[in-house]
Amino acid sequence: MGYNPVFCQFVSKGWVFGQLGLLFLLCGWLGWRRKDEEHGSRANEFRLCATTFGVAFLVWFGLACIPITTASYSLKKARVAALNDDAEAGLDHLNSACKAMPALSFDSGVLAQKGSFLLAQGESHVPEARYQNLLNLERDGYQHRAAELLENLIADGPHNPALDRELTRSLLRVAIDDFNAGNSAEARRRIRQVCVREPTAIQALFHLQLLALQGSHLEENRYCRETIASLYGNFQRREKKAVISAGWLMVAQGELEAGHTLAAAEAREKSRKP
């Protein structure tokens, strides 16, 4: 379905333990009924349970395939319409695909294609079309103008959740470009704006901590490290230890610059075993 392990890690555990619990319950119940084996009732009930489970699984699988198949067919029709320069039909098919599978509306490519269809129909005032227009400017090298249009579009929001999520990602990308270009003031302003829009954005918090270290803002440095650790610490990601360790190292450097040698030594020690 397109979900990554970060989303599925807890869901998968629930399914596994749920199925194991059901299996143990069934085995225990059938074992408790072993005295009824002489009459054949236990074997009949076992066959009934197995048949019911098989039928239920087939029904569930069939129902799960319906929206996937419908969305795939609509996406193919939208692709054909785009090749034929039929923007109106393409947009209708794309909306049908998103209706069948709502998760598609959050896909960056689908959102960009919607904007392209709207621009082709002359509806440049629609938020999705405005977003695609700034992406076109960015692709053509007009980053400054694209950044202005992005902030104007954000100021006119909120929009639908899919577009707002994409706008936040674009704002973070622009902020990181500012950071890499040495424009610390604009980078800090935009990253703080990202953190307001999405308080759980690990990448934004990490860059904000870097900016706090550069600007000798020790309290903000500590706050970013604590927030990243609380958000990221419990996730099953291989790279999380490196991120949390880097956060402790930045705190250690900030504490050292502030003259807190003992706190710096403690933070550095914690960076070794995050």
Average pLDDT, the chain: 84
Gap between the Cα atoms of 231 and 184, Å rounded: 25
Mean pLDDT (whole number) for 147-157: 90
Query: Which tens digit of pLDDT belongs to each residue from 41-100?
Result: 666 666 777 777 778 878 878 887 888 888 889 999 999 998 888 989 999 999 999 988
Structure tokens that stand for 274 in this block: 């995050």
The pLDDT score that the predictor gives to residue 41 is: 60
pLDDT range class, residue 3, cuts 50, 70, 90: low
Q: Which of 134, 180, 216 is nearest to 190 (CA)?
A: 180
pLDDT at 65: 83
Stated pTM of the model: 0.72
Give a three-class secondary structure readout of the chain.
Answer: CCCCHHHHHHHHHHHHHHHHHHHHHHHHHHHHCHHHHHHCHHHHHHHHHHHHHHHHHHHHHHHHHHHHHHHHHHHHHHHHHHHCCCHHHHHHHHHHHHHHCHHHHHCHHHHHHHHHHHHHCCCCCCHHHHHHHHHHHHHCCCHHHHHHHHHHHHHCCCCCHHHHHHHHHHHHHHHHHHHHCCCHHHHHHHHHHHHHHCCCCHHHHHHHHHHHHHCCCHHHHHHHHHHHHHHHCCCCCCCHHHHHHHHHHHHHHHHHHCCCHHHHHHHHHHHHCC
> Is pLDDT of 32 > 80?
no
Task: Compare 227 and 231 and report the one with higher pLDDT.
Answer: 227
* CA–CA dist 139, 127 (Å, integer): 18
Over residues 118-145, mean pLDDT: 90
Taking the CB of residue 82, how many other CB atoms lie within 10 A of it?
19
**Residues recorded for the chain:** 274
Q: How confident is the model at residue 1 (pLDDT cuts 50, 70, 90)?
A: very low
Q: Is the pLDDT of residue 10 over 70?
A: no
- Asked if 223 and 217 count as a contact pair (C-beta separation under 8 A), the reply is no
pLDDT in tens, 239-255: 788 888 999 999 999 99
% of the chain beyond a pLDDT of 70: 87
Cβ-contact 265, 236 below 8 angstroms: no
pLDDT for position 194: 92
Handedness of CA 198, 200, 201, 207 (dihedral sign): positive
Gap between the terminal Cα atoms of the chain = 33
